[in-house]
Amino acid sequence: MSANPLAAIMAPRSIAVVGASNNPLKMGSIQYLNLRHSGFPGPVLPVHPTEKTVFGLEAYATIEALPMAPDLALLVVPGRLVVEMIEAFGRRGTRHAVVITAGFGETGDAGRQREEALKAAAARHGLRFLGPNCMGLVNTRLPLNVTAAPLVAPPGHLSLVSQSGTYITQTLHYLNERGVRLNQAISVGNEADIDLVDGLEHLGADPETRAIGLYIESIRRPEAFLAAARRITPHKPIIAQYVGGTSAGARAGASHTAALAGPDEVVDGLFRQAGIIRARSIEEVYRVGAALATQPPLRGRRIAILTNSGGPGTAMADTLERLGLEVPAFSPALRERIQAHLPSHASAANPVDLTFHTDMTLMARTLPALLMASDEVDGLLIHGIMDTGWADMAYPVFQDLFQVSREDFRRNFHADVDALVDLPSRWGKPLVISSFFGREDRAVRCFHAAEVPVFDAPEKAAAAMGALLDRRGTSAELETEERLPEPAHDRVRRLVQAAARQGWNEFTAKRLLAAFGIPTCRETLALSPEAAAAAAREIGFPVAVKGCAAHLTHKSELGLVHLNVGSPADVSRACASIARAEPEAGFLVAEMVRGEREFIAGLHRPPGFPPVVVFGLGGIWAEALRDQAVRLAPLSLADARSQIGAIRASAALGAFRGYPPVDREALAQVLVRLAQLAAACPAIREIDLNPLVIRAGRPVVVDALFVA
């Protein structure tokens, strides 16, 4: 594997800036000044055709005039100049660049042609670049900042890759105000060369990155993205926001499967398969990402809540339980130890509710230490520590009455949080704070300095704890990569060749499924009513009789499906009805499978993605309820097991209304075999197995639709 170019781009020894001038309002000048202000330790070389100096540093009229080949070139120039400048840097010996300039592939045909010329010029010299149309990068530890906003927060351990430059530039002040510290941040722009996957792989290998946040609008290399993420998430968490999944242009194909597997469902399945935590807002990427980067992993589900108000405590408890965490009732012994410190009106249950108690010693020292030390607690949520934020709000009421200065009044409310912020490292358990105050509050600033996450709503704090649980679960799910052996390819090849001549009807589709080890019902294809009656007698009444031809898709709507056919005469009548509607159709005679439950399984090839396997509730509920889970092929057995458990109605897979539990392993093998079929038969675009009936606990395919 070749070295990741971002390793060099994020740690250059020297930088040339083309586009900086002495006009501080120009974008190139702004990024140049931020680079210098960041404290970058190496030479910064401005290139300008007429300026002799740029803000006090010697400028060079041409790239050829530079005293050295810089490690990194930063281009903030008109689009028409970019290609020739990349050529010039390449000839000079520079091998890495950041192209801020816009006006390339995002603007139409002319821009796309310019972008292709840029790629070709860079390739001629072995030069790797970020952009174009990006907003630069940040490495807080070098330090290095070539964005349009100054760095204001100290280094942290959350790193970002964003397809929006705004989210690593305009947000730097926002992040500092909320205690979110960055390690590295990369804007990939148009991804003409270096892309999202390169960023992911670079941060996965970076020892200072403890959590990765992603902002994604499209995934250009989904297979590589999935492979990279699966390698990373067992060791460090990834949290991502995806915003490209609601396109009205998503194709609804000929099968139910294609209609169910739209872009958002596909990416959601990819995230789950990769162990990526999905964020619903950029705020979650930053703030939950910071919690993932700073807090110890959860070792269990039991969360203690400490609050000075019943409402926030109840809201946190409710959110935790909805996310699969527990707010357990404490043992009598633990409650007794807690009660010994509480005022008479307070509750020692979980949540521990002090009901607006203003003595912060209990909330900041005594009770957190007691709770974190308990083997009944895996993590701690605190709401309501009051410090100078509360004092400043209350001061106007007290100043005239007590003739006290603001500073003296504030000192009365100082909460000693020094011991509190050490608890996560001491006990190896996460601590998350909820407060309605921001950095104006001294305690909040102390939490920020110690990298203890603070959220501005109780539910957000609880959701961060839920993400820590998600991180714990996904790490375990990716431990195993069991695969099933491949089927006999000679038989598969013969079936595919025959179907290429005749098309895929239901009978030939099920023969191919059977070749892959997917269980199907007993059936015979008859070409006459007499042969159909004979087949029915052999199979045993009652039977199903269906019209069978390659062009027939949803046969029930056409009146071509007759169920519970109970006699030879009934078979003849069913065949006559089918023949009137479809004279060229054959007669598929199948056993009537008495199902306990019905599911759907299928395959779809969405544009830009590898094949996806769909599983969910089947029958008439498939499209009505849209309760399904999606995974990308190929599947391991662990992937398939996770997919089965991901549907909302997964409880129906257990013992149900007197029926035995579903054999999940047999069901998982069906999904894995579908993924194998996708790889072996690329001409098959869609597969719809609806319903996939559960009989005696095991899955049986009773209807199959292939679209080639």
Asked whether residue 515 falls in the same domain as residue 649, the answer is: yes
Give the pLDDT of residue 405.
87
Give the angle subtended at the CA of 536 by the CAs of 533 and 538, to the nearest 5°. 115
Asked whether residue 500 falls in the same domain as residue 548, the answer is: no
Least confident among 105-109, 275-279, 385-389, 482-486: 482-486
- CA 301, distance to chain mean position in Å, is 22
What average pLDDT score do residues 633-649 get? Answer: 93
Given a cut of 70, whether residue 163 has pLDDT beyond it is yes
pLDDT, averaged across the chain: 92
In a domain, 290, yes or no: no
Least confident among 78-82, 415-419, 474-478: 474-478
Asked whether residue 454 falls in the same domain as residue 333, the answer is: yes
In a domain, 232, yes or no: no
Asked whether residue 420 falls in the same domain as residue 309, the answer is: yes
Which residues have a Cβ under 8 Å from the Cβ of 45 and sit 6 or more positions away? 14, 15, 16, 17, 57, 60, 66, 67, 68, 70
Share of the chain above pLDDT 90, in %: 80
Asked whether residue 80 falls in the same domain as residue 194, the answer is: yes
In three-state secondary structure terms, 278 is: strand
Do residues 62 and 49 make contact, with C-beta atoms less than 8 angstroms apart? Answer: yes
Asked whether residue 510 falls in the same domain as residue 659, the answer is: yes
In a domain, 283, yes or no: no
Asked whether residue 541 falls in the same domain as residue 617, the answer is: no
Asked whether residue 553 falls in the same domain as residue 634, the answer is: no
pLDDT tens digits for range 295-318: 999 999 999 999 999 999 999 999
In a domain, 124, yes or no: yes
Question: What secondary structure does DSSP assign to 307-349, as a single string?
Answer: ESSHHHHHHHHHHHHHTT-B-PPPPHHHHHHHHTTS-TT-B-S
Domain boundary among 409, 444, 477: 477
Given a cut of 80, whether residue 598 has pLDDT beyond it is yes
Least confident among 161-165, 261-265, 625-629: 261-265
Structural domain including 199 reads: 5-209
Give 490: exposed, middle or buried? Use CB within 10 Å, 0-12, 13-18, 19+: exposed
Give the pLDDT of residue 412.
81
Give the pLDDT of residue 473.
56
Q: Cβ–Cβ contacts within 10 Å for residue 252, how many? A: 12
The number of folded domains in the chain is: 4
Asked whether residue 93 falls in the same domain as residue 198, the answer is: yes
Domain boundary among 459, 477, 495: 477
In a domain, 226, yes or no: no
Residue 34 or residue 253, greater confidence: 34
CATH code for position 678: 3.30.470.20
| C-alpha dist (Å) from residue 478 to 22, 206, 268, 637 | 53, 21, 16, 11
Asked whether residue 187 falls in the same domain as residue 320, the answer is: no
In a domain, 287, yes or no: no
In a domain, 214, yes or no: no
Domain boundary among 561, 592, 623: 592
Asked whether residue 268 falls in the same domain as residue 394, the answer is: no
| Nearest partner of 224 among 262, 195, 192, judged by Cα | 195
Confidence of residue 621 (pLDDT cuts 50, 70, 90): low
Given a cut of 90, whether residue 479 has pLDDT beyond it is no
Do residues 89 and 127 make contact, with C-beta atoms less than 8 angstroms apart? Answer: yes
Asked whether residue 256 falls in the same domain as residue 314, the answer is: no
Given a cut of 70, whether residue 474 has pLDDT beyond it is no
Do residues 679 and 500 make contact, with C-beta atoms less than 8 angstroms apart? Answer: no
Give the pLDDT of residue 244.
78
pLDDT tens digits for range 190-200: 999 999 999 99
CATH code for position 382: 3.40.50.261
CATH code for position 138: 3.40.50.720
In a domain, 217, yes or no: no
Given a cut of 70, whether residue 96 has pLDDT beyond it is yes
